[in-house]
Structure 1
Amino acid sequence: MVSIIIKVQDLIDERGLSQKQLAEMTGLRRAAVSEICNNLRTSINREHLEKIAEALNLSNINQLIELKVEQEE
C-alpha cells in the first residue's frame, strides 16, 4: 500500500511557527492550512504547495511530501 504524507506540520514545528502564521505567510485560509497540516485533504492544490514551499524557503519537494510504502503481508 502506498500513501502520500504531507509534512507541513513537522516543518512549521521545526521553525517554531503556528498554522495561523503559515496561513498569513501564504495567503491561504487557516482552515486550508489546518487540513493540509493534519493530512485531511484528499487533493491538494499545486498552487498551495508552491506557496507553502516558498514561505518555508524549501528547495526540495521531498522536504514537503513523503511517499510511504507499506509492505503487504
Structure 2
Amino acid sequence: MRKELLGYQPIFTLKQTLKERNITQAELAEMTGLRPNAISNICRGYVDRISISHITKICQALEIEDVNMIVTVSKQYGYVAPKETELNGLMVAESENPYNREDE
C-alpha cells in the first residue's frame, strides 16, 4: 500500500475561538442572529458547507479578520492499495510489473 493525498478537509476551529474568548454558542447565536443549531453544527464540524454570510456574521460579531479562527483547511493523506494491471493475462500490482519501471 502507498500513502497519497486524498484531498483537503476543513477543520472547524470556532469552538476553540469561543472558548478562548469565554463566549458561549448561545451568546454567539444571539450576537449574529444565526440559529443556535447552526452555531452548534459549525462548532462540532457537522457541516458539509458554510455560507459566506455565516462566516461574515461570525467574524463581525467576534471582531476577527482571520478566517482561520473559524475554519482552516488541512491536507488529508491515506493509504491506497496498489493499482492492478493485466500482464500476460494475469492481474498484478503495478509495483510488481517489470515493464513499469521508473529507473529505465
Higher strand share: 2
- Structure 1 residue 3 and structure 2 residue 19: aligned? no
- Structure 1 residue 63 and structure 2 residue 61: aligned? no
**Residue among 4, 15, 29 paired with 2:21:** 15
Higher helix share: 1
Give % identity. 32
Bigger radius of gyration: 2
SS at structure 1 position matched to 2:31? helix
Unpaired segments ≥5 residues, structure 1: none
Unpaired segments ≥5 residues, structure 2: 1-5, 80-104
1:7 Cα deviation (Å)? 1.0
CA RMSD, 1 decimal: 1.2
SS at structure 2 position matched to 1:70? strand
Greater RCO (CA < 8 Å, at least 6 residues apart): 1
The TM-score normalised by the length of structure 1 is 0.89
The TM-score normalised by the length of structure 2 is 0.65
Give the number of aligned pairs: 73
